[in-house]
Amino acid sequence: MDNSYLKIESDKSELFIKFYGKFDLYLISKYKKQIDSINMQDIKTVNLCLSNLDFLDTASAIFINNLQNDFLDKKVKITSPNQKISDTLKLTKDMKHTDLKSLKQDSFIDNIGKNLVLNYRSFLSFVEFFGLVFMAFLKYISSPKTIRFKEIFFEINESAIKAFFIISITSFLIGLVVAYQSAYQLKLYGANIFVVDMLGISILRELSPLITAIVIAGRSGSAYTAQIGAMKITQELDAMKTMGFDPFAFLVLPRIIALMIMMPILIFLSDMMAIFAGMIIANIDLSITTELFLNRFNEVIDIKHFYIGIIKGPFFAFLIASIGIYRGLMVKDDTQSIGFNTTKSVVESIFAVIICDAVFSIALTNLGI
Amino acid sequence: MGVVIQAKGVRTIFGDKVVHDGLNFSINEGEIFGLLGPSGCGKTTLLREIVMLQDIHGGSIDVLGYDVANINQNNAQKLRQQWGVLFQAGALFSSLSIAQNIALPLYEYTDLSKKMIDEIVKFKIDIVGLKLSDANLFPSEISGGMKKKAGLARALAMDPKLLFLDEPTSGLDPISARDFDALILKLKELLGLTIIMVSHDLQSISDTVDRAGIVDEKKIVYEGSLDNIASIDNKFIQTFFGESYE
């Protein structure tokens, strides 16, 4: 840096740009400013003197070549006695001759079209996935001895039993909050006892299934995506296929079945915990005794609310498990893809669960249930 | 010596890129056949097509008398039990130990007793040159070379007729690579295997391969022994097997 500088001299119609010392890519922008500030009027010949230069890197060589293009209307002379420097210049110049196709930027319309096709394809692949799941399921039913009981029980333990604690805690807190907030409002009207109706219907019918589904989607759905995605990257899935082990029978169905079996049980657990929490608040805040709470509960809460909540379980489970696994299978051969697909899996499965819940809600209400 | 694999007019397309077009070759029983070619020419794709991991878009591939493009479930299952595949990084099942990996196909496809399966597993571990003390380690606890050996042992678990190797020596140091070559030759002698391998390792190719198929420009540009390959006029063959190769 010390002895690297640029000297600009002009002699009537001739301009001398002299480079000294080293010229590397850190100096380019500094030199460019200097050169840009030259008054170019009445200059006919530009001399680029590289004779005092003892090092030139490729970026600077490209810069010097570009300078020649900038001074097209003028005569440009390059003096460089150093063989190495003229070699570098020649190297970068030769590269320019190879036809670099200019990268075409996609237009807005192009992007819409591409995204449309991409989404259409991913929709088709999702339909294909469901077809394969169904085929594998038929195979299970047609020969029950191929059912992978060991894997199913393993998954029941992994994705449901180990979730008991987190679901209990979450549901307990939700029950607590809902009861506490409604207690505050109900007290204003002296309608204390209605906290039972309120808790019973909202928790059994809507809140418990949703909370359970969301916790499971975040906990087990994402795990499915990451597990299967990693297996895809390490070619374990390919290895299974070449050994004749159908991944749908070994990995996909056991997970879906395990979750479909366990989801109603998890929802039941969630019901219990949330109502229990509500009962505590009713006792403390509204001085409704446990006995009174349970009596009222028995009177006003129809069993159908409980059944509706439980029935939703297998549907939610199917959505969560199949979206999680599908996203796992979509993982491509790079590490980015696992994170991307895991995020998508959780977002999509929670979204699907909420849509499904809305459908249930509308259908059942219209049916008068 | 019969023909075990016969490919006729294979065509593969990825998006709008044609990878193979009218590709033909045949592999005889009991030989080591090397699939070679410049990177990106579709060697591994070809291997994946032979073992039914990928569909072909035209032509046919016959493996042990079955046309893999039009094969029914039962025959596909029968075929899969007659080959073993060693993937580039071993592709061992990460939730199972080495011994469990090797034993898995035996448990799934046979009704042998546990004792018998243990015997077989021990034999396979021994034949690929792993130590019995490694049997209970998990894939994450062993080195790359050991993973390949364990993968090989798993590929050999069902005593297959065909063995597919995808870059068997890549990622190994030169000494382990030569050991692996020697192991492959030994296994071929001992078990009478037909071995199909994809490789870039020149030393390994000249040491082991009986016949080679060079994939380039969407076709097989050369098929046959390596003895007079240097006389073939092809850019890849010339740079790969030219002067430096004797």
pLDDT-derived band of residue A306, with 50, 70 and 90 as boundaries? very high
Please identify which residue in the block is written with the tokens 């795990």: A223
CB-based contacts of A249: which residues, under 8 Å, 6+ apart?
A136, A139, A140, A146, A148
The verdict on B133 touching A (C-beta cutoff 8 Å) is no
| The predicted structure's pLDDT at residue A273 | 96
Check whether A353 has a pLDDT greater than 90: yes
CATH number at residue A55: 3.30.750.24
| The predicted structure's pLDDT at residue B38 | 84
Q: Within this chain, do residues A15 and A90 fall inside the same structural domain, yes or no?
A: yes
| The predicted structure's pLDDT at residue A79 | 80
What is the distance in angstroms between the Cα of A132 and the nearest Cα belonging to chain B? 14
| The predicted structure's pLDDT at residue A101 | 56
Q: Within this chain, do residues A180 and A246 fall inside the same structural domain, yes or no?
A: yes
- Which ipTM score applies to this complex? 0.84
A238/B48 CB distance under 8 A: yes
| A366 touches A266 (CB < 8 A) | no
- Select the more confidently predicted residue: B87 or A54: B87
Please identify which residue in the block is written with the tokens 């808790």: A199
Q: Within this chain, do residues A308 and A184 fall inside the same structural domain, yes or no?
A: yes
Check whether A208 has a pLDDT greater than 50: yes
Task: Give percent of chain B with pLDDT exceeding 90.
Answer: 16
- Select the more confidently predicted residue: A77 or B115: B115
- Select the more confidently predicted residue: A82 or A359: A359
- Strand B17-28, strand B3-14: pairing: antiparallel
- Select the more confidently predicted residue: A172 or A90: A172
Mean pLDDT, rounded, for A204-219: 94
Tell me which residue of A276, A273, A312 sits closest to A293, measured CA to CA.
A276
C-alpha to C-alpha distances, B97 to B93, B94, B115, B138, B142, nearest whole angstrom: 8, 8, 17, 4, 10
Is A40 part of any domain? yes
Mean pLDDT, rounded, for B62-72: 88
Q: Within this chain, do residues A228 and A357 fall inside the same structural domain, yes or no?
A: yes
Check whether A225 has a pLDDT greater than 90: yes
Is A112 part of any domain? no
Model pTM score: 0.79
| The predicted structure's pLDDT at residue A2 | 61
Give the chain A residue nearest B91 (alpha carbons): A236
**What are the pLDDT digits (tens) for B177-220?**
898 899 889 888 888 889 999 988 888 888 888 898 888 888 88
| The predicted structure's pLDDT at residue A75 | 79
pLDDT-derived band of residue B246, with 50, 70 and 90 as boundaries? very low
Which of B80, B89, B108 has the CB atom closest to A242's CB atom?
A: B80
| First CA to last CA distance, chain A | 83
Q: Does domain B30-52+70-241 fall into CATH 1.10.443.10?
A: no
The verdict on A238 touching B (C-beta cutoff 8 Å) is yes
Domain residue extents for chain B: 30-52+70-241
**What are the pLDDT digits (tens) for A318-329?**
999 999 999 999
A-facing residues of B in 139-178 (CB < 8 A) are: 151, 164
| The predicted structure's pLDDT at residue A133 | 92
- Strand B66-67, strand B17-28: pairing: unpaired
| A48 touches A71 (CB < 8 A) | no
CB-based contacts of A338: which residues, under 8 Å, 6+ apart?
A225, A226, A229, A230, A233, A331
Chain A residues with CB under 8 Å of B98 CB are none
Check whether B244 has a pLDDT greater than 70: no
**What domain range includes position A47?**
5-97
Split into its structural domains, chain A has a count of 2
pLDDT-derived band of residue A339, with 50, 70 and 90 as boundaries? very high
- Share the mean pLDDT of chain B: 87
